[in-house]
Amino acid sequence: MTMKRITKHLLSLLFCASLVHLAVAEEVKVSSLDGNTILTVQIDKQISWSVKKYDQLVLPKVTIGMTVNGNQLAQSPKLKSNKEIEKNETFEVIVPLKNRQVSNNYKELQLAFKGGFGLHFRVYNEGVAYRFYTSMRGEIEINNELMDITFPDGSSSFFPKEVSTYSHYERNYLKLDIDSIPVGDFCSLPVLFNQDDEQLRVLFSEANLYDYPNLFLELTGDKHLAARFPMAVKATIPQPGARVDRNVIITKEYDYIAKTKGKRTFPWRLFVITNDDKTMLEQDMVMQLSDPLKLTDTDWIKPGKVAWDWWNDNNIYGVDFESGLNTATYKYFIDFASEYGIEYVILDEGWTKSTTEILDFNPDMDVKEIIRYGEEKGVGIILWCLWKPLDENMKEILDTYASWGAKGIKVDFMQRADQYMVNSYEQIAKECAARQLLVDYHGSYKPNGLRKAYPNVISYEGVKGNENHKWSDEITPIHNTTLPFIRMAVGPMDYTPGAMVNMQEENFNISFSRPMSMGTRCHQLAMYVVFESGLQMMCDNPSNYYKEEESTRFISKMPSTWDKSIALEARVGEFVVMARQKGENWYIGGMTNWDERSMELDLSFLPEGIFEMVLFKDGVNANKYAQDYQVKTIKVTQSDQLTIKLAKGGGFAAILRPIQ
């Protein structure tokens, strides 16, 4: 055969191969109900998908797959069937942090493949989501789940960088170009990406996480971020030293990320996509994508505010007893809570005999008497405990706390995100619900939708909040105006607001026992409207609150759940203004970063009628003396527009009541 004939024959083979490839490759599309978002699934040697929104290619390519029992499911996949469904439904939230009624309207693409697996893709007006499912017998080992995201040129991020998947998720959001992130660096979720000179945002997180580890994102190459998971934990030992009671060292891991049922759905991977920052404050995709209520009785679940002891180090004053970890101090907390209608007092670290002996209390505190006294005054008691001893003896410990009359637990120092820990979160929620106990997770990962199934899961930390003022200068107004768009966008955050000692940056000092906050007094007051938590802490000590009577009375009237929420003004890391409804009343909160600004407050969201508005705003000297504020009471209607001046690190808050 001549060289010419060989070349012709090879070209013919290549052409035939390309025809075969074209015949095998498939493409399936699904759009949002409003038509603005189009998701395209490409099935070839691998499965990938892309998204266009506003006629712009937002995610050019997301390659996905799963390795089960050593086999790559999505390698040269063969599609058996595809089906598109549409849903328009509404569900009620037991502990509503945004809206009591949530609309759940979407189109869903259901793909089934040979080999016992499939995919669901959902497209909402606000974003997109996907998940795998398997239909295999017995138990399976998930060795890995592939997700590789390619971002467009010029993309940047608010990157919550981690150094280990053994994490409490308390991170700053580092504003970084994706091109500048070193290969191997990774972050926890949620994470926010920016495109088109920050005119377009993509918020990434996950939902409906059960019996499976949390996902992290790692930079693997040029504009590529890929899924990373903690391996399933095989063995641990206590960490020697001062934190032997709460930290462990993982000594052995399995060669899989999860061992689980072969017939199941896996967590949703969700992407909120918007060119309006207000969308991130109003969307509720984690709740929309999560399993429905699993409890039959929820009437006992009571959200509320909490008088908190640990941040202020029990530094009450003006009393005739020595303050500290003793019965007299906590009765003082209870008296304060009762006077101001605060629902709970927390007994944080120090109330137990030791941090590991958590079935008994320290000799200076009669916890049964404190709980009895609280009941007499209409104040519930929540008990702090470490996760490690709780995990080792859960039923006896929870039975004991419930028998004393405690209303809930604040469980702390989980610090892990592997499969065992995820299962522990559900076990704690379930066991506490059986005893009518609330749960506040601290030292925790971010919310993943567990609270929809178990609404006694009332809040999560997983946030760099007010407590960090005790040892750092990183909790700035810039940080505070970033949190609502990222961390709070996936669920409640126990930030613990309410500082009464407020400082501008140049006056701020770190003090563990007598802490202060950055930003103005009204910046802190606004948090009770802007920040979402079913348990909303009042972090300062009662003596300071008594001294600041006007601010305290105002805070005490703030709800911790809402019937309706509306974002009025929003820009990540710059400013946020929220309006929220509870019954007939409306509440407004606004915060700014270090920039002074005038906010135009349009009240057209109000129903018809006249409202009395009590407005707390920054005082004329708040730029120098951050505790300076002014109070105005005015009459307003939906036709009014107000101009409110915010100091640097400032804020404002208002309560509006209809005039009968």
Which active-site residues does the annotation give?
412, 467
Contacts with 320 (C-beta within 8 Å, 6 or more apart), sequence order: none
Give the span between the Cα atoms of 227 and 218, in whole angstroms: 6
Torsion from C-alpha of 271, 273, 278, 280, nearest 10 degrees: 0
Cα 177 to chain centroid, rounded: 24
Cα distance between the two ends of the chain: 100
**Residue 369: CB atoms within 10 Å:** 12
Strands 611-618 and 575-582: unpaired
Residue 481 is inside which H or E element, if any? none
**Paired tokens of 49:** 């998908």
Distances in Å between the Cα of 135 and the Cα atoms of 68, 140, 143, 568, 658 are 12, 10, 17, 45, 56
Q: Which of 651, 585, 584 is nearest to 619 (CA)?
A: 651
Task: Give me the residues paired with residue 281 across strands.
Answer: none
How do the residues of the chain divide into helix, strand and coil, expressed in percent and rounded to 5?
Answer: 20, 40, 40
DSSP 602: E
Q: Which of 391, 422, 413 is nearest to 142 (CA)?
A: 422
Contacts with 394 (C-beta within 8 Å, 6 or more apart), sequence order: 427, 428, 431
Structure-token match 């991170």, residue found: 171
Cβ 148 vs Cβ 62: under 8 Å: yes
